[in-house]
Amino acid sequence: MKILSIGECMAEMSPQNEAGTFHLGFAGDTFNTAWYLRRINPDISVSYFTGLGTDTISDQLRAVIKDAGINDQYGVQVPDRTVGLYLISLDNGERSFSYWRGESAARRLASDPSALKRAIEEHDLIYFSGITLAILDADGRQTLLSALHEGRDAGKTIAFDPNLRPRLWSDTETMLKVTMAGAHASDIVLPSFEDEATWFDDANPEATAQRYLSAGARTVVVKNGADEIYYHTPEERGTVSVPPIAKIVDTTAAGDSFNAAIIAGLSDGISLPKSIAAACKLSGAVVQARGALVPVSQTDFSV
């Protein structure tokens, strides 16, 4: 199976032990998922579709993508743009973020409809997120959603994590409307119940799943922190327990790595309950280390 992940990868400035010293890294929700896919199954073909500038930091990001074993031959080049940036601040171990993404080339990733269409045509499963939709303008969103609908009609599998981030949207109504439009283009939806309950007023994970099924999804897996994972497919529905974790160090990319394991399981023909158990194991390993990209292995994925 050939997998295409679409979205934004940003430069990350994380504080070091010495005051005023930061480490430059790169991370972003859909990139994190692509990165973990390659870590847990190096045999999977993974491509990343984004927008990149022509400056030095864009070249550095491209090198990071290549070094991860991810195909960087898709996407668009935007000469007058660069890589978005975020800065991590720590206060007694609690993380907060400051963002600079106004000049991000990824905001123009849908500016070449033919490149987007070609990339989708050449892959079997296409993965995107609510953040992917949020960074685009209205025309870009429509271009992306139209391309995804065409791909789905042609037999491609479309996977979507709503990843609700209200600060990226002009208003809540637009966020909710576009999120459901994203679900309407998707076969698989991978929401997080805490966010869904907050913004859609869902009473329980089953309500979250039913809303996305009603929008046209066929499979919904509702992440729910340390509580049971609820899943619903045309063939079955049920829950999977989350193993307890002794010490959570950093929850960054917990959902991204979980999604990677679900997609890898589908690629390998593993049943959904077993894939969810593997996803819990992988995300459990990720939250016990600091940072978005944790050096996990296939062992952390197997059940």
User: What pLDDT digit, counting tens, does each position of 5-40 carry?
Assistant: 999 999 988 877 777 788 899 999 999 999 999 999
pLDDT digits (tens, 9 = 90+) for 63-118: 999 999 999 999 999 999 999 998 888 665 566 788 999 899 999 999 999 999 99
Answer whether residue 92 is part of any domain.
Answer: no
Residue 275 in this model has a pLDDT that exceeds 80? yes
Q: What is the pLDDT of residue 104?
A: 96
**Angle between the N-to-C axes of helices 29-40 and 254-268, in degrees from 0 to 180, rounded to the nearest 10:** 50
The total number of structural domains in the chain stands at 1
- The residue type at 132: T
CATH number of the domain that residue 242 is part of: 3.40.1190.20
What predicted TM-score, i.e. pTM, was given to this entire model?
0.95
Q: What is the pLDDT of residue 51?
A: 97
Answer whether residue 274 is part of any domain.
Answer: yes
Please pick, among 161, 202, 256, 300, the residue that the annotation labels catalytic: 256
Answer whether residue 19 is part of any domain.
Answer: no
User: Which residue segment(s) compose the domain that 155 sits in?
Assistant: 2-7+29-50+110-300
Residue 299 in this model has a pLDDT that exceeds 80? no
Answer whether residue 279 is part of any domain.
Answer: yes
Answer whether residue 206 is part of any domain.
Answer: yes
CA distances from 121 to 69, 116, 157, 159, 169 (A): 21, 9, 11, 15, 29
Q: How many CB atoms lie within 10 A of CB 61?
A: 25
Which residues have C-beta within 8 Å of that of residue 281, sequence separation ≥ 6? 243, 261, 300, 301, 302, 303
Residue 179 in this model has a pLDDT that exceeds 60? yes
Active site includes 72?
A: no
Answer whether residue 98 is part of any domain.
Answer: no
Answer whether residue 100 is part of any domain.
Answer: no
CA–CA gap between residue 45 and residue 74 (Å, rounded): 13
CA–CA gap between residue 225 and residue 206 (Å, rounded): 15
Residue 199 in this model has a pLDDT that exceeds 70? yes
Mean pLDDT over residues 185-189, rounded? 98
Q: What is the pLDDT of residue 157?
A: 98
pLDDT digits (tens, 9 = 90+) for 64-79: 999 999 999 999 999 9
Q: What is the pLDDT of residue 94?
A: 60
Mean pLDDT over residues 191-205, rounded? 97
Answer whether residue 245 is part of any domain.
Answer: yes
Q: Which of 68-72, 85-89, 167-171, 277-281 has the lowest mean pLDDT?
A: 85-89
Residues forming beta bridges with residue 148, ordered by sequence position: none
